[in-house]
Chain A
Amino acid sequence: MDLVALLTIQVLYAIASLALISVGLAIIFGMMRVINLAHGEFLMLGGYAAIVATNHGTSIWIAMLVVAPIVVGLIGVIVERTIIRFLYGRMIDTMLATWGLSLFLVGLTTAIFGNTTVGISAPLGSFQIGAYRTSVYTLFVIAVAVVVLAAIFALMRWTRLGLIARGTMQNANMAAALGVNPSRVYAITFGVGAALSGLAGAVLAPVSGVFPTIGVAYVAKSFITVIGGGAAILSGTVSASALFGTINQIATFVTTPVFGEVTLLAAAIVLIRLLPQGITGRFFRRGL
């Protein structure tokens, strides 16, 4: 019984972390049709931002929940204005350029921070489930994922920004029709996506540590989650995270974490083959 409870928490954690690392990418891909291969590095930068801020005396909560998203969000806007905007409509070129950006950011952070893992210890301690101990921070990550997804839902559903966003998703000319400057919508969207990635990277930093090439570990997982999810940003991310997170955690439990990950990636490839339009291309089409 304790084992079931523990496993449940771990599955929920796997789902929540997948959703967290993917949602920024899902927004950028879903709204702009841009495949940002530097996504993993945005997460990495979020981690560094949080750690640097904490080392300079900021409270860890402020560092993770405020500093990291703002810093990475700003970086996102700069990237959109200097690189991405020249490549709209050229999907393959965007992938290549953002791959270049990914290498550049890895190189830059290696030059600045060195090629070692830095970490911050997870706050909040641990608690007991029967014979097992697990950290309270795990629950915090799950809570953050829920709050982030709920916030995006509320934003998309009830605000003018959300309306514009949904319009742009349906039809790129829609934003213009609503009297909004499309290039501003794109810059803001990219910034918001980057900020969410920064937040995710910061929140996961105490769990995984941060090093310059950590993005590689994130990028494939978040991509397949987004593609597996399909066009609808929220329901896609949630459903694909639920599916892949469960598969990952169960395979990890049965074998090793590495093979858990391998199983996750392999399952995703099969899913993309079976449902090229993603889960939401097939089911819950009308979702957000």
Chain B
Amino acid sequence: MNARWLNLVGLGLVGAVGIAFLVLVPRVFELDVVLELTVYMIMAILALSLALIWGYGGILCFGQSAFFGLGAYTYAIAMFNVGESTLPLLLAVIVPAAFAALLGYFMFYGRISDVYLGVITLTVTLILFNSVNSTAGPEFHIGSARLGGFNGIPGIPPLNFPGNKAAPIDLEGMFYLATAALLATYFGLRLLLASRFGRIIVGIRENERRAELLGYDPRAYKLATFTIGGALAGFAGCLFANWGNFVSPTIFGLAQSAQIIIWVIVGGRGTLIGPIVGCIGIQWLTTALGANQPSGGSDLWAKIFANAPLIFGIILIAFVLLVPKGLVPTLGDIGQSLLASRGKGAKRLQPKRAEES
């Protein structure tokens, strides 16, 4: 059972790297770096949410940012009303999950085809963006939380230790929380995918009709997958609202949705580690290029390099045309063929299976 061993070694490696990262980063780096890394961890959870529903569930969702934004907004609104963070955190998972369940029910039980799923999820994201964007007036409030329209909601209170309002989690604490949450999400999804449920959703992705003829209801499985993905994205949104103490409607924007798609494509569909790598890599690249800062120079090249959409666009086109499987699976293939050509383990090594890593 070589494949199984490889699998366990991989898991161990991810765990070891993850824990080392968790322990070492705050001791080695300055707070600003820790803060930056915290948002990478949060976004990686968001990447995993799409990795699940698209990479394994085969559901193309162009609106993953809708659930992310709903999570962030739900947390913010609930926090202003409740004050203690346990309930807001729960709501920030439940509300997006419920929304995903409703939307999923509408789409999957309506037998809407794959391509239209993309268009519908994209449209829903735009509806949310437009609606929230236009709630700037004071008449738009939920309880004591003003929605703020395009100005967003500033000054969101941070998470506190469960039950204790007076003990908010500080910036370093957020790093630990986000990193631990990412590790928990990763291993949780590994477990899920190794379970009966996980194997069935991969089967449905591979051949929906066959799964149906074996007696599985693809609609129910897709709905469950979509809902879990919505919950995870909502959770990431909650952490994100915490991280910046701020949310604005751009969180629902198409640019945000495009980013999530790019992380998964670059890292590789059908893997979990790939989208994490893709997410962190792209985020790092964005920071390194200073893409989010207004560019100072008048030089066109400087403007181009500081221009996130342009770089993202090129990356997306290039990957679809040249590396459609994504980095991790492609590297895996190259590694395998190298091993095979050396004559070593060509027999022992199992073919790359769809749900590894």
Q: Does B311 contact A107, Cβ atoms closer than 8 Å?
A: yes
Q: Does A100 contact B316, Cβ atoms closer than 8 Å?
A: yes
Q: Does A107 contact B308, Cβ atoms closer than 8 Å?
A: yes
* 1/0 contact string of A265-276 vs chain B (CB within 8 Å): 110110011001
A128 to B77, CA, bound (A): 47
Q: Tell me which residues from 293 to 335 in chain B have a Cβ below 8 Å from any Cβ of chain A.
A: 300, 303-304, 307-318, 320-321, 324
A266 to B60, CA, bound (A): 20
Q: CB of A170 within 8 A of chain B? A: no
A106 to B255, CA, bound (A): 10
Q: Smallest CB-CB separation from B302: which chain A residue?
A: A111
- Given contacts A97-B317, A216-B126, is CB(A107)–CB(B116) below 8 Å? no
Q: CB of A223 within 8 A of chain B? A: yes
**How many B residues, CB 8 Å from partner?**
46
- Given contacts A35-B119, A83-B321, is CB(A111)–CB(B314) below 8 Å? no
* 1/0 contact string of B118-146 vs chain A (CB within 8 Å): 11101110110011011000000000000
- Given contacts A100-B312, A258-B133, is CB(A265)–CB(B123) below 8 Å? yes
A91 to B114, CA, bound (A): 10
A272 to B120, CA, bound (A): 9
Cβ 8 A contact of A108, one of B111, B120, B133, B310 = B310
- Given contacts A87-B320, A111-B304, A261-B130, is CB(A227)–CB(B119) below 8 Å? yes
A26 to chain B, nearest CB (A): 14
Q: Tell me which residues from 219 to 264 in chain B have a Cβ below 8 Å from any Cβ of chain A.
A: 253-255, 258, 261
A39 to B103, CA, bound (A): 25
Q: Smallest CB-CB separation from B300: which chain A residue?
A: A111
Q: Does B111 contact A111, Cβ atoms closer than 8 Å?
A: no
**How many A residues, CB 8 Å from partner?**
41
Q: CB of A129 within 8 A of chain B? A: no
Q: CB of B288 within 8 A of chain A? A: no
Q: CB of A92 within 8 A of chain B? A: yes
Find chain B residues with CB under 8 A from A261 CB.
Answer: 130
Q: Does B126 contact A100, Cβ atoms closer than 8 Å?
A: no
Q: Smallest CB-CB separation from B294: which chain A residue?
A: A115
Q: Tell me which residues from 56 to 74 in chain B have a Cβ below 8 Å from any Cβ of chain A.
A: 60
A95 to B62, CA, bound (A): 10
* 1/0 contact string of A89-126 vs chain B (CB within 8 Å): 00111011101111111111011100000000000000
B267 to chain A, nearest CB (A): 14
Q: CB of B110 within 8 A of chain A? A: yes
- Given contacts A100-B320, A111-B300, A111-B304, is CB(A269)–CB(B120) below 8 Å? yes
A256 to B106, CA, bound (A): 27
Q: Tell me which residues from 208 to 253 in chain A have a Cβ below 8 Å from any Cβ of chain B.
A: 216, 219-220, 223-224, 227
Q: Smallest CB-CB separation from B118: which chain A residue?
A: A95
- Given contacts A35-B115, A111-B304, is CB(A269)–CB(B123) below 8 Å? yes
Find chain A residues with CB under 8 A from B122 CB.
Answer: 219-220, 223
A219 to B254, CA, bound (A): 11
The A interface, classified by DSSP as helix, strand, loop or mixed, is helix
A258 to chain B, nearest CB (A): 4
Find chain B residues with CB under 8 A from A273 CB.
Answer: 106-107, 110, 112
Q: CB of A88 within 8 A of chain B? A: no
- Given contacts A103-B312, A223-B123, is CB(A258)–CB(B307) below 8 Å? no
Find chain B residues with CB under 8 A from A266 CB.
Answer: 127
Q: CB of B195 within 8 A of chain A? A: no
A173 to B122, CA, bound (A): 32
Q: CB of B113 within 8 A of chain A? A: yes
Q: Can you pick out 29 interface pairs between chain A and chain B where the beta carbons lie within 8 Å of each other?
A: A86-B321, A87-B321, A92-B60, A95-B60, A97-B316, A97-B320, A97-B321, A99-B261, A99-B316, A103-B312, A103-B316, A104-B310, A106-B309, A106-B310, A108-B304, A110-B307, A110-B309, A111-B310, A216-B253, A220-B119, A220-B122, A258-B130, A258-B134, A262-B130, A265-B126, A269-B106, A272-B120, A276-B110, A276-B116
Q: Which 8 A-B residue pairs are closest in the complex by CB-CB distance?
A: A107-B310, A104-B313, A100-B316, A103-B313, A107-B309, A100-B317, A258-B134, A97-B320
Q: A100-B312, A106-B310, A220-B119 are in contact. List 18 more A-B contacts (CB 8 A).
A: A86-B321, A96-B261, A99-B258, A100-B315, A100-B317, A104-B310, A111-B310, A216-B253, A220-B123, A223-B122, A224-B119, A258-B130, A265-B123, A266-B127, A272-B112, A273-B112, A276-B111, A276-B113
Chain A residues with a Cβ under 8 A of chain B: 35, 83, 86-87, 91-93, 95-97, 99-108, 110-112, 216, 219-220, 223-224, 227, 256, 258-259, 261-262, 265-266, 268-269, 272-273, 276
